[in-house]
Amino acid sequence: MPTKPARNQSASPTRNLASTAPVPVPASARKAFQPEHAHQNLDRGARAAMARLSGGVSAHAFIEAWTDWTFHLSNSPGRQLELAERAQQNALKLMALSARADPDAPPPFVPKPYDHRFDHPGWNTQPFLLWQQGFLAVQDWWDHATDHLRGLQPEDADRVRFMARQALDTVSPANFPALNPEIIKATLASGGRNLTDGAAHFMQDMVKTLTQSHDPAPKGFRVGQDLACTPGTVVFRNDLFELIQYAPQTGQVQAEPILIVPAWIMKYYILDLSPHNSMVNYLVGQGFTVFMISWCNPTAAQADLSLEDYRTTGVMAALDAVGRIVPDRKVHAVGYCLGGTMLAIAAATMARDGDDRLASITLMAAQVDFAEAGELLLFVDESQVAFLEDMMWDQGYLDRPQMARTFSTIRSEDLIWSRAVRRYFLGQDDLPTDMGVWSADTTRMPARMHSQYLRGLFLENRLTAGRFAVEGQVIALKDIAVPMFVVATETDHIAPWRSVYKTQLFTDCDLTFVLTSGGHNSGIVNPPGGDARSRYHRGERRAGGLYEGPDRWLEVAETRTGSWWPEWAGWLATQSSGSSGPPDTGAPDQGLAPLAAAPGDYVLQT
């Protein structure tokens, strides 16, 4: 593995890594994951092979959940009676539906808000309505059957519910051409052309899955031309990231620059999509000097990268570079998703060590406590983590397709089945969008870092339990004294908003909390003049103020329509010291000469 660069290493050109392909894991990179006894390699290799077949899901964890649920249900005659009554009630509702006199009366069962499989108006006519309602009635029964039960481990109940839902989704009437009115209508209208086109789409997708290949970005969605196209310059580069400084668009800028720390589970340009919805472009247009970290897409040769490397060689090295380009100024630090978690760790460490270079902290859809991390917790226990660790030990990283499958199954109704029907039975092409192109631009996670993240944060929740050590000393989020702006999104299934809200529980500083409409990505990428339905709730907690639970906070929070971006930009301005002329690009006299035009090389790595 290449020698890790020093924290204050001057930026020097490196080889273009845009076309670097994964390579076998070298012995030096695998050393950190080596078992104590060589014979254990056989065990790990066997588990790694099984993990690849199962997508990293441990069968043991789910068998254990079914066993726990079955045992406790068998010893609960009251719950059994309740479920029998529920089945009877649902059956009577279906019978009444088939004999109802008013065809406009609302049906007894409704899909979940994110389930769009039954949106077509044909589902409101018989016999399709009865098939749809029959499926939803069974789904309703299973939701109650897998509800929490006295003595049953809550996570086992949730896992059984998740597995039951996945199994039910495979037999939804929406998946079968003869039972889906939308498919029948399209087939009659096109003479079956939709089915032949869908078969072609299926073959294309199967070949891409088997070969792990990617289609080139469609016309109008090229990175550096149409996306990630805000003018800027790469002013620093090491083996882990490139630092982009964006060109000013106003004559005067806020004196304090902004440093954005995106998650390395995604490419940074989710925050610099098309010009009309680019957060970076918006901030620069509002008179801010913006710096962006563009993480490398690690290969197996970087399997030994750790969380601490991402803090020191990543966040802190970027902060050092920004300080040399804009000297004697504090920095507004912004973290998104996992980048926000890392920023919180870095900020708490800086507070402990008396480092006062931050002017403010913004966390977007970022968790610091993982006790209520939603359905992602279904995939995190000792057995699951061991499975993933052995798979990463074998290949050196966790590939994005393996992560994407996890995120998709959480909302399989929409992200898997609805798309499959559109593409394979209706013969519709996926319409390209900037966010869709970004989502398909996959990245990898280094083995060691991801293992530490899963164990230290997700599984053991050390950061808020007072057990997360940096450089041998435990850090505490309550040491952070600079103002914070925390953003959560209402329908986030990756970082649920109540989990993000817990930042208020573990900090004592001035904190503005915003809950915005949308999901993990759409709620953050929410420019002014975009979705007319956009709204957000806002509230403040002064330093040392009493904690208020999320539901109570939502009751009293101020509600505003539109994008939350202007609210945030105004807040940043109030945390700044005034305006000045734009800084120079880079700092050649400090070893930070401009290296390349944005978006740089690392964002192009595949």
Percent of all residues in the chain with a pLDDT value above 90, rounded to a whole number: 70
User: Would you put residue 21 in left (φ > 0), alpha (ψ -120 to 50) or beta?
Assistant: beta
pLDDT of residue 45 exceeding 80: no
What's the average model confidence in pLDDT over 2-23?
A: 36
pLDDT of residue 378 exceeding 50: yes
pTM, to two decimals: 0.87
Tell me, what's the pLDDT at 364? 98
pLDDT of residue 30 exceeding 60: no
Longest dimension (CA), the chain: 83
Q: Which of 393, 338, 334 is nearest to 366 (CA)?
A: 338
Amino acid code (one letter) for 573: A
Question: Using DSSP, how many helices (H) and how many strands (E) does the chain show?
Answer: 22, 17
More confident residue, 501 or 396: 501
**419 CA to centre of own chain:** 20
Q: Which residue has the tokens 């986030």?
A: 492
CA gap 202, 2 in Å, rounded? 41
Per-residue pLDDT tens digits for 213-230: 777 888 889 999 999 999
| Distance linking the first and last C-alpha atoms of the chain | 19
Q: Which residue has the tokens 């929406």?
A: 174
CA gap 75, 320 in Å, rounded? 61
User: Confidence band (pLDDT; 50, 70, 90) for 36?
Assistant: low
Tell me, what's the pLDDT at 276? 95
Q: Which residues of 542-551 are buried (b: 16+ CB within 10 A; e: fewer)?
A: eeeeeebebe
Cβ-defined contacts of 55-60 (< 8 Å, 24+): 55/402, 55/405, 55/406, 56/379, 56/384, 56/387, 56/388, 56/391, 56/398, 56/402, 56/406, 57/379, 57/384, 57/387, 58/381, 58/383, 58/384, 58/386, 58/387, 60/383
Q: Which residue has the tokens 């000297």?
A: 327
What's the average model confidence in pLDDT over 305-323?
A: 97
CA gap 216, 52 in Å, rounded? 26
Q: CA dist 17 to 25, 108, 299, Å?
A: 17, 57, 10
Per-residue pLDDT tens digits for 485-504: 999 999 998 899 999 999 99
Comparing 72-81, 314-323, 324-333, 425-434, the range with the smallest average pLDDT is 425-434
Q: 154-170 vs 128-145: helix axis angle to the nearest 10?
A: 160
Q: Where are the domains of the chain?
A: 32-213+398-432
CA gap 383, 56 in Å, rounded? 10
CA gap 40, 501 in Å, rounded? 42
Q: Which residue has the tokens 């001035």?
A: 510
Beta bridge partners of 242: 237, 294
What's the average model confidence in pLDDT over 166-182?
A: 95
Tell me, what's the pLDDT at 35? 54
Pinpoint the alpha helices (H) of 229-312.
279-285, 307-309
Tell me, what's the pLDDT at 54? 65
User: Confidence band (pLDDT; 50, 70, 90) for 531?
Assistant: confident
Tell me, what's the pLDDT at 408? 67
Tell me, what's the pLDDT at 379? 78
- Per DSSP, the three-state class of 562 is coil
Per-residue pLDDT tens digits for 183-192: 999 999 999 9
Tell me, what's the pLDDT at 375? 78
Cα Rg for the chain, rounded, in angstroms? 26
User: Confidence band (pLDDT; 50, 70, 90) for 1?
Assistant: very low
User: Confidence band (pLDDT; 50, 70, 90) for 34?
Assistant: low
User: Would you put residue 290 in left (φ > 0), alpha (ψ -120 to 50) or beta?
Assistant: beta
Tell me, what's the pLDDT at 198? 94
More confident residue, 105 or 482: 482
Tell me, what's the pLDDT at 210? 79
Cis peptide before 127 (omega within 30 of 0): yes
What's the average model confidence in pLDDT over 200-211?
A: 88
Tokens at 198, concatenated: 């869908």
CA gap 476, 484 in Å, rounded? 15
What's the average model confidence in pLDDT over 514-536?
A: 93
Half-sphere exposure of 553 (CA within 13 A, CB side): 20
Tokens at 192, concatenated: 């079956």
Tell me, what's the pLDDT at 383? 79
Q: CA dist 13 to 26, 229, 413, 600, Å?
A: 25, 22, 46, 11
List strands edge to edge, sheet with 558-561: 558-561, 535-541, 511-516, 484-489, 358-364, 331-336, 258-261, 290-295, 241-246, 232-237, 596-597
CA gap 529, 507 in Å, rounded? 33
The residues annotated as belonging to the active site are 337
Per-residue pLDDT tens digits for 128-150: 999 999 999 999 999 999 999 99
User: Confidence band (pLDDT; 50, 70, 90) for 38?
Assistant: low
What is the 8-class DSSP label of residue 310?
A: I
What is the 8-class DSSP label of residue 488?
A: E
What's the average model confidence in pLDDT over 418-440?
A: 91
Q: CA dist 36 to 24, 41, 107, 512, 535, Å?
A: 22, 9, 61, 48, 54
Tell me, what's the pLDDT at 405? 64
pLDDT of residue 338 exceeding 60: yes
pLDDT of residue 298 exceeding 60: yes
CA angle 604, 452, 512 (to 5 degrees): 80
Summary mean pLDDT of the chain:
88
Tell me, what's the pLDDT at 3? 39
- Per DSSP, the three-state class of 148 is coil
Percent of all residues in the chain with a pLDDT value above 70, rounded to a whole number: 91
CB 470 within 8 A of CB 308: yes
User: Confidence band (pLDDT; 50, 70, 90) for 540?
Assistant: very high
Per-residue pLDDT tens digits for 58-93: 778 888 999 999 999 999 999 999 999 999 999 999
